[in-house]
Amino acid sequence: MKPPRSVRCPRSEQGQTVVEYALVLALVSVVVVAVLGTVSMAGMNSMASYISSGLAALGLS
């Protein structure tokens, strides 16, 4: 059973919807990369500090 014609999207709007989804996906992926970059840099700085303090405690630095 087909939905009423007023409910279906015209073909021109279907292409527009695909572009909108692509833009949203691109924005989400940029945000994810930015967040992961920040988190990983904080983790690396924390690890470097931990190793440095451990070496200092052993008198190796």
DSSP at 8: S
Q: What is the pLDDT of residues 25-54, one digit of tens each?
A: 999 999 998 888 887 877 878 888 888 898
Q: Could you give the count of Cα atoms lying within 13 Å of 26 in the half-sphere of its Cβ? A: 6
CA-CA distance, 29 to 34, in Å (whole number)?
9
Nearest to 61 by CA among 51, 23, 47: 51
DSSP at 24: H
Q: What is the pLDDT of residues 3-33, one digit of tens each?
A: 666 656 555 666 788 899 999 999 999 999 8
